Chains A and B, each alone.
Chain A
């Protein structure tokens, strides 16, 4: 491989991200469909360059320094020429729109006059889709239909745009179901750190009261910070929250080695750790995104999902070891201590890892 090829290769690779860029011009096209009955297409483009192209197509040229009024008159006079390179079709059949031209003067000495070309007409009854082509631009431009955008090269036909109403926004029930599931899967199986924390809480004592008190404190606390974070009232960077979560797991597990009864300070600490974990949940939920229309529903159901995930962890631990072994003499020595040590080691490793990166 020649040096130049290597250089080019590295250039191409370096610019891999930028290579998606397009030469985007100043033209933009917006399509509105009103109640499936009428359409309105608005082209905003540079008036002078469009007039130049229209004049050139007639073998003439545009003198410099033309007023906005004169440009508007030129565009209007070239109506038939302009139509030759505009294609608006419903279900593949071309329609002939009514076209109105307006040119606004430039806002200052160096700006250009902008032309607004409005194409209107009735939508053929029962039309399913429409296609668009604007052949008077060389640069790429955006065509928006409602909230959807297609990037088109000059002269490139759009892909057919469906006219059947966009899918309605998901209902409250489906949003609730979705976020309930997201909350649950954030614990089981994706949230190994939260699972270990809950296991740490569970392993402290064989009494149901201990589990109940700790879980309640944890739940109340993480619900508070999850809500406050999602409403933007508090914000702690994840580079602080994530290592702290790892430390909290290590603390709970290590304390299990020295403590076998529920103390009031343990509840207070679990509450404090819950505040941390809530901020962690919020970070995850922000990444997932919340629907603006069903913000509260999504927030509450996500929290409930998290809760259900935690209870599932405790229920599993109880069924696997607690039920049969919790009252045996060897329960603490063979289950609580080794498991807590394992959790503590993992959490210490995570703490170092999260601090380092």
Chain B
């Protein structure tokens, strides 16, 4: 595991993370929870209001099953759900693709920052390093919310997003000194060699990073307190005949175990 310290807001902001921020991570049974979508960097995010043109899936999965989040178009929070019973709830948002075009330098820097080595290598091989790049990006964001007391028997669940981070243990029931295993899947198969980054709201400039192993797993030792964001980006060349060069998927996972 590698510890990075990045100067906050020192570099121009290129590619932005997107995450889910419920108004509480520890709701009571029966409580209605507002779910905010945020786009930004270092956990400083702008509200992303509910946009029906962007939403592919916006759901919560609880003990009763999967339900769409209700909400008013254009509003922040973008959705609401009701907690039917104690337990771990999985909130998910996956988006339709958005297009963005970046100049060569900006794109190269962003590819480097996100650890997309294969993309950089392919660009070099195609002699495209000096060319601007057009990209279609989609969001695959999840959040874990705990109502009541944590149980080891419960864990994150797969929602079937194109790129998906799955916490393989309940992050709310981890004890001191225990690692959180996180698995990254792309099209339902483990993705190896991908950079996964974890950061905490209380100190977002301090980033934990790791590359996924052959089973798509990383392990993080996360201290309790503050909201955690775990994220990963995967980018592939766009298929021929499409008006874009790259297609990217942005997975994120948020949760907030209470500090002692």
Contacts and interface: CB of A to CB of B under 8 A. Distances in A.
Interface of A: 1, 4-9, 11-13, 15, 18-27, 46, 49, 52-53, 56-57, 59, 61, 110-112, 135, 137-139, 153-155
A111 B75 CA distance: 9
B76 to A, nearest CB: 6
Interface of B: 8-9, 12-13, 16, 18, 23, 34, 39-42, 44-49, 51, 53-54, 76-77, 80, 95-100, 136, 162, 187, 202, 204, 236, 238-239, 241-242, 244, 247
B247 A8 contact: yes
A6 B54 CA distance: 22
13 contacts: A1-B239, A5-B239, A8-B247, A12-B97, A19-B96, A23-B18, A23-B95, A26-B49, A46-B46, A52-B44, A61-B202, A112-B47, A139-B47
A151 B35 CA distance: 26
Given A8-B239, A22-B98, A52-B44, 5 more contacts: A9-B239, A11-B97, A23-B48, A56-B44, A153-B100
A25 B49 contact: yes
Contact of A25 (B13, B48, B97, B247): B48
Contact of B187 (A7, A19, A139): A7
A12 B48 contact: no
Nearest to A50: B46
Contact of B8 (A5, A26, A57): A57
Given A8-B247, A46-B46, A53-B44, A21 B12 contact: no
Contacts of B236: 5, 8
Given A22-B98, A23-B98, A139 B239 contact: no
B51 A21 contact: yes
A25 B8 contact: no
B76 A112 contact: yes
B46 A18 contact: no
B44 A12 contact: no
A19 B34 contact: no
Nearest to A136: B46
The residue in B49, B204, B244 that gathers the most chain A C-beta atoms within 10 A of its C-beta is B49
A200 B238 CA distance: 57
Nearest to A110: B34
Nearest to B41: A138
Contacts of B53: 18, 21
A56 B8 contact: yes
B77 A110 contact: yes
Contact of B46 (A21, A27, A110): A27
A112 B78 CA distance: 12
A138 B16 contact: yes
B242 A9 contact: yes
B95 to A, nearest CB: 8
A138 B76 contact: no
A15 B76 CA distance: 25
A23 B54 contact: yes
A23 B239 contact: no
B187 A46 contact: no
A26 B74 CA distance: 8
A56 B45 CA distance: 12
Contact of A155 (B12, B39, B204): B12
Given A7-B187, A21-B96, A26-B46, A12 B39 contact: no
Given A4-B187, A8-B247, A110-B34, A26 B99 contact: no
B39 A25 contact: yes
A101 B11 CA distance: 27
A109 B66 CA distance: 26
B134 to A, nearest CB: 10
A23 B40 CA distance: 11
A25 B216 CA distance: 33
Nearest to B100: A153
- Sorted nearest first, the 8 A-B pairs with minimum C-beta distance are A9-B239, A18-B96, A139-B46, A25-B46, A138-B40, A110-B34, A138-B16, A138-B46
Contact of B244 (A12, A61, A137, A138): A12
A59 B241 CA distance: 47
A260 to B, nearest CB: 61
A19 B16 CA distance: 17
A4 B188 CA distance: 11
A7 B186 CA distance: 12
